Amino acid sequence: MKARVHVMLKDGVLDPQGEAVRHALGTLGFSGVEGVRQGKVIELDLAATDRAAAETEVRQMCEKLLANTVIEKYTVEIG
């Protein structure tokens, strides 16, 4: 079973990488970009066969390691 985790900074947390990307896009002529938020995608191959158990396990992984829940939010997709 595969899982995909999307991790993004929470709303209101400054995103210096996103701002650097926005600035670089403006320099390249893409002046219509008003904001950029940069995140990460983590793909996991799981041995689990039960979808609910897999989602619970991946959420535990996020809480313990994959996301800094003080400043980041995450979503989990199981497929």
| Domains held by the chain: number | 1
Alpha-carbon dihedral of residues 23, 28, 29, 31, nearest 10 degrees? -20
Range(s) of the domain holding residue 22: 2-78
- Domain CATH number, residue 14: 3.30.1280.10
pLDDT value of position 52: 97
Alpha-carbon dihedral of residues 4, 15, 67, 71, nearest 10 degrees? -140
pLDDT value of position 16: 97
Tell me: the pLDDT tens digits for 12-57? 999 999 999 999 999 999 999 999 999 999 999 999 999 999 999 9
pTM (2 decimals)? Answer: 0.88
pLDDT value of position 77: 98
pLDDT value of position 6: 98
